[in-house]
Structure 1
Amino acid sequence: MSKKPIIVFEGIEGSGKSHHISIVSKYLSKKKINHIKIREPGGNPNSEKIRKLILNNKSNFNKDTDLLLYMAARSENMNIIKRSFNKKIILIDRFTDSTIAYQHYGMGVDLNLIETLNKYLLKNIRISFTFLNIVNQKNLQKRLKQRKSLNRYDKFKMSFYNKVQKGFLNLSKKQKNKYQLINSNLDIDNNEKLILDKIDRLIK
């Protein structure tokens, strides 16, 4: 594995992925290790504009439009990723597997279409490792209630999130050696240590 890996944090809403990627970024900064941190959708000015459009509560896109907007945001991010590939550690809050989990498993978009678009955008770029954060329904509902504001993707039915999380788990089984499951229902401090220990092994 490259000493400058691409490390992705995946999971449904309320699973703690954004918290953990922030902890890892602070850890790397403290150790003065060169890295970038981006999120999807978002990550650069153009992608952030698309993010606002996708997540706006007044938006009502069909599933194919949603897919193409996510891919458009990813397309804008690929310039940043390609410039940093093998030069810096790349941390990504949601990436290609999120598109499959949400758009295919959650919304029923054709899997071949999603994979074709991902291959076109990524070319030779490969994800090194993925942390998949999982959460039960009770904690998901509790954490969403604690948010100051909810975006469009925070307001789906629980059955949707269940399908998406099962989709993530299916993807993780296909790449066991490149996935680590983080049970976010357990103690957050232990999970942070678990992740940082793995980060140390990935970059040494």
Structure 2
Amino acid sequence: MFISFEGLDGCGKSTQIELLAAYFERNGIEYVRVREPGGTSLGEEIRKLLLHKEMCARSELLLFLASRAQLVEEVIKPALSRGVVVIADRFAHSSNAYQGCGRGLGYELVKSLNDFATDRVYPDIVFFLDIPEETVFQRLGVEKDRIERETSEFWRNVRTCYMKMAQEEPERFIVIDGTADVSEIHEKIIGVVRARMRGKKY
């Protein structure tokens, strides 16, 4: 099973990934965790560039795609072939939202480039932790990276794009209120994961 977590910056992905990983450990379920950008030696070098170097939107997208392609080949495909669960802190849907809609490069263009970069390997479940764009500014600290310093309009466009994808891919996307209690969100996630592991669909 391939699970990814998506949402605006500050939505609570990291906390929920930690809780899900702990659940898998308690239940003896083998898993690997990856993050985007990053997850490989090449990807981590790209991450440094993306978060701290100024660049145009096209360069940003291409670097994300390069990191993603390496992650798929080096980590995700081998893990899935061994029957190991993959938990991803962001994946291809982030580029659709952030670069396709937030940066205005074009939703359909980015989707097609993602097909190439991922070799059409996509998550079985996407947990989208939805928060209003104003919550981003409330939750992020003083020290912000290049992307976290974006405007309200940027975050609004990104959020709208995520909701569009949720409507287009209802079998894959699970939309969760990211402003809810942490334990409540975790229980919802566990319920979905258990059901999918039993072969059920939501």
Residue 32, structure 1, aligned to residue 28, structure 2: yes
Q: Once the 2 structures are TM-superposed, how far is the Cα of residue 148 of structure 1 from its aligned partner? A: 6.0
- What's the CA shift for 1:203? 2.1
Q: Which residue number corresponds to residue 177 of structure 2? A: 183
Per-residue displacement from partner, 1:100-153 (whole Å, max 9, x unpaired)?
Answer: 001111111133432232222222523211110111234322111xx3631111
Q: Residues 38 and 46 of structure 2 are in contact (CA less than 8 Å); yes or no, is this contact kept in structure 1?
A: yes
Letter in 2 for 1:169: M
In 1, the alpha carbon distance for the partners of 2:95 and 2:3 equals 16
Q: What is the aligned counterpart of 1:43 among 39, 45, 63?
A: 39
Structure 2: 5+ residue stretches without partners: none
Partner residue, 1:168: 162
User: Which residue pairs with 2:150 in the alignment?
Assistant: 156
Structure 1 residues not aligned, in runs of 5+: none
RMSD (CA atoms): 1.4
For 1:91, the equivalent position in structure 2 comes to 87
Query: Structure 1 length normalisation: TM-score?
Result: 0.90
Q: C-alpha distance in 1, partners of 2:165/2:120?
A: 20
* Counterpart residue type for residue 38 of structure 1: V
Structure 1 partner of 2:63: 69
Q: Percent identity?
A: 26
1:116 to 112, 117, 128: 112
The runs of at least 4 consecutive aligned structure 1 residues that moved more than 4 Å come to none
Alpha-carbon distance in 2 for matches of 1:111, 1:135 = 21
The one-letter code of the counterpart of 1:76 is Q
In structure 2, the residue matched to 1:197 is 191
Q: Distance in 1 between matches of 2:135 and 2:95?
A: 23
Alignment check: 8 A CA contact 2:133 2:159 kept: no
Q: How many residues get paired?
A: 196
CA distance, structure 1, for counterparts of residue 66 and residue 185 of structure 2: 33
Q: Tell me: CA distance 1:22–1:52, structure 2 relative to 1, closer, same or farther (3 Å).
A: same
Q: Where in structure 2 are the equivalents of 1:3-22 lying within 5 Å? A: 5-22=1-18
State the TM-score, normalized to the length of structure 2.
0.91
- Where does residue 60 of structure 1 map in the other structure? 54
The residue number in structure 2 matching 1:107 is 103
Q: Deviations over 1:78-106 (max 9, x none)?
A: 12111112421111111111100011111
